[in-house]
Structure 1
Amino acid sequence: MKKNILEFCLSPDLGGLELFMTNCYKEFSKKTTCKVIIEKNKKLDNYFEEKDDIHYLKRNKLFPLLPALKLAKFIDEYKIDIIHFHWTKDINTVVLGKLLSKRKPKVIQTRNMTMTRFKDDFYHKWLYKNINAMHAVTYQVKEQIEKFIPKEICPKIHMVYMGTQTNINDKKEIEKLQEKYDLNKKTFVVGIVGRIEEEKGQFLVIEAISKLKELDIKAMIVGHTMDEEYLNSLKEKIKKLDIEDKIIFTGFTKKVNEHMQLFDVNILATPRETFGLVVIEAMANEVCMIATNNGGPLEIIEDGVDGLLFNRTSEDLAKKINFLYENEEQKKTLAKKGLEKAKRLFDQKTQLNELYKVLEEIK
């Protein structure tokens, strides 16, 4: 018997965590009844085009009982069997909503973030006792959950990688973007995709480009601004380094894949990325990856085989960019191997089907 699923995420952001939730909804709704609860007028709300299964709930940090009561009513009205939530800050609302409902649905959490402290106090023990399963997006995250949640109350953990799809890109749209950004086809383009905030490391790309300013290289910074002060500091740095003609800010776009087709290389520069959805997205677009040698990328990239890793210094990043700039064939080989791995290990449909099986079997 098919189970009714609720995808739940009140996050105000729009990054890998939130986009993964939308992918879950799109795939699971093909198999069963799937509803979505998000917060109205946030980035996720604007991202969804079809609104038939979308419902709204306002997060209340101080009084989670209020949204939990509304969630409980929703659970019973729509006969929800499984709540699948993604944002850690939603945990108390979801658990309270479950307990206040008549149906008492099963709860599974996708853990996208690292876990760094023990959850052995009374409050966390109560929370995790009422969660039926956890989905870890990497083996590293699985190990952290096992380490920090006491064994006697730890939910069953399932490791399933996130996935991506190989896209058929609109060539005319790509040509329009080349014209829009005034890109010469010979120009070597270094891309970085993600929210504009310090942790994403756009400053490292800017510093690396400044070390290579004599070469025909430009950087394209794709993503919406989370921190205006940080954005202004980046623009001041660019001006100070005299590389204003080398850096392009695109702002937010839904056409990430088309933008990636402009890149010669894509950079992941976060200090410790749990998984790195943008890594496999670049690989699926046959774009060579350079990522920090920590966290999730270590489970995705084999250094020198299907991508490159760097030590999160602008000096090392500049060195790796320059290597690819000077070695076109090696760049193509790495990109090709990356595409092969993305198809083999990180196919979106395959991975979401594995996760759906987990949801079906929750006890």
Structure 2
Amino acid sequence: MRVLHLASEKTWRGGEQQTAYLIEELQKLSVACHVACRKGSSFEQYCLQHQIPHIALSFSKVLPLATAYGIKEYTNKHRIDIIHMHTSNAHTMGVLAHLLGARATLILSRRVEFEIGRNAFSQFKYNYSGIKRILCVSARVCQVMAASIKDAGKCTVVYDGISLDRFATQPKENAGFLRRHYSISPDDALIGNISAIDKDKDYYTFLDTAKALKEANVKAKYIAIGKGPLEDEIKAYTRTLGLEQDVIFTGFINNIPEVLPELDLLLFTSLKEGLGTTILDAFACRVPVVATSTGGIPEIVESGKTGFLTPVKRHDLMAEKVLCIFNDPGLRDRLVQQAAQRVLMFTKEQTALKTLAVYKEVLSLH
């Protein structure tokens, strides 16, 4: 079986990591993986480093036909069986390539819970007959997707997965990067969020919760790990709340396996979230989680058992749940132990096996 993965983004975020995990695990299952990626992108570097056969294209939204033609030519030359489209832009290019004559079955991954656009092209590309399955990252995404297209039977749930090995060499007792790098006192708890600083991640609620905990005399530093378009705005809000000495903005860092186990709690405040693999990472590191009950998060976090859930934008309830965990070591231990068992259902190996089963199913239909 030959699969061409379309990776259209320039930078490396969660979706790109998931695509890389999938390729690595599919290769172990004897699937020949190829990649069409954006020229000059992080994914092109990944392909070069790992000797993955690939073609680098522009993925220009302004001149899409050149990229689509390149995908078509590569597909037919290498006798690709499946084109797996991992992003919205990749989806567009894959459909166009198919229309131009790419002789392969189309599979689409969907990682966001937004409804599809109502414009004619969005309706066309999501209902395109060449797409045989839409792999939804959670049941919630599947529900939204199924309600948005004509043939809901194309939608199926394949959860994203994490690498448990990624944290195996990072025991918590040996971690200390944040405290060393930012001169944080041993007396301060570390409460963090790892996500892009954008509208959907709602760092306003993260900061409001920090303010409430400070007023409750919790001694802590709040670590915002990530960058994004609202960074200046969120930093300004930090100053408005008088939290300049309490909140640390690290920007993007690439040593998450070292940093995450050091946190005493993950405070995940998203307004929308397809699944929330950062929560899974926290489970693997035995870091307790307080998160919003949105998107696919409730499919990971069973409130009171593997973490705590609150409605979105309820900083008061989030602060209350943080206090419950900090004030009851026995509760904390039970949460992280049960979360460590829960995460075994969400590994990259499981993702690859379920994806491969879908590949085999659609190819058997021909």
Q: TM-score, normalised by structure 2?
A: 0.88
Q: 1:157 aligns with which of 155, 158, 161?
A: 155
Please say which of residues 233-242 and 193-202 is displaced more in the overlay. 233-242
Give the Cα separation in 1 of the matches to 2:252 and 2:48.
16
Equivalent residues of 1:75, 1:101 under 8 A apart: no
For the residue of structure 2 that corresponds to 1:362, the secondary structure is helix
Q: CA deviation at 1:221?
A: 1.0
Aligned to 2:222: 219
Q: CA deviation at 1:175?
A: 2.8
- Alignment deviations for residues 51-107 of structure 1 (CA, whole Å, 9 cap, x no partner): 5224311122233212111111111232211111111232221012123245x1111
Q: 2:24 aligns with which of 21, 26, 39?
A: 26
- Pairing 1:16–2:14 present: yes
- Alignment deviations for residues 261-318 of structure 1 (CA, whole Å, 9 cap, x no partner): 1111112211121211111111111111111112111111111111101122222222
One-letter code of the match for 2:220? I
Aligned to 1:328: 329
For the residue of structure 1 that corresponds to 2:334, the secondary structure is helix
- Pairing 1:183–2:184 present: yes
Distance 1:68 1:254, change over 3 A: same
Give the Cα separation in 1 of the matches to 2:122 and 2:43.
29
Equivalent residues of 2:22, 2:348 under 8 A apart: no
For the residue of structure 2 that corresponds to 1:24, the secondary structure is helix
Aligned to 2:40: 41
Equivalent residues of 1:83, 1:106 under 8 A apart: yes
Q: CA deviation at 1:339?
A: 0.9
Distance 1:261 1:157, change over 3 A: same
Q: How does 1:265-276 map to 2 (within 5 A)?
A: 265-276=265-276
For the residue of structure 2 that corresponds to 1:17, the secondary structure is helix
Equivalent residues of 2:177, 2:259 under 8 A apart: no
For the residue of structure 1 that corresponds to 2:289, the secondary structure is strand
Give the Cα separation in 1 of the matches to 2:121 and 2:179.
56
Q: How does 1:1-363 map to 2 (within 5 A)?
A: 3-30=1-28, 31-45=30-44, 50-53=49-52, 54-101=54-101, 104-117=103-116, 124-125=123-124, 128-151=128-151, 156-166=154-164, 167-171=167-171, 174-213=175-214, 214-223=217-226, 225-227=227-229, 230-312=230-312, 313-343=314-344, 345-363=345-363
For the residue of structure 2 that corresponds to 1:29, the secondary structure is helix
Q: CA deviation at 1:354?
A: 1.6
For the residue of structure 2 that corresponds to 1:294, the secondary structure is coil
Distance 1:120 1:253, change over 3 A: closer
Please say which of residues 164-173 and 24-33 is displaced more in the overlay. 164-173
Give the Cα separation in 2 of the matches to 1:49 and 1:221.
32
One-letter code of the match for 1:233? E
Equivalent residues of 2:44, 2:56 under 8 A apart: no
Distance 1:118 1:221, change over 3 A: closer
Distance 1:333 1:204, change over 3 A: same
Give the Cα separation in 2 of the matches to 1:45 and 1:201.
31
Please say which of residues 295-304 and 92-101 is displaced more in the overlay. 92-101
Q: CA deviation at 1:133?
A: 1.4
Equivalent residues of 1:119, 1:148 under 8 A apart: no
- Alignment deviations for residues 213-256 of structure 1 (CA, whole Å, 9 cap, x no partner): 23211111112x221xx212222222232222211222212221
Give the Cα separation in 2 of the matches to 1:135 and 1:271.
22
Distance 1:303 1:130, change over 3 A: same
Q: TM-score, normalised by structure 1?
A: 0.89
Equivalent residues of 1:129, 1:155 under 8 A apart: no
**What percent of counterpart residues are identical?**
21
One-letter code of the match for 1:341? R
Q: What's the RMSD between the two structures over aligned residues?
A: 2.4
Give the Cα separation in 2 of the matches to 1:331 and 1:47.
38
- Alignment deviations for residues 109-157 of structure 1 (CA, whole Å, 9 cap, x no partner): 0111124258795873465212121111212222223222113xx5633
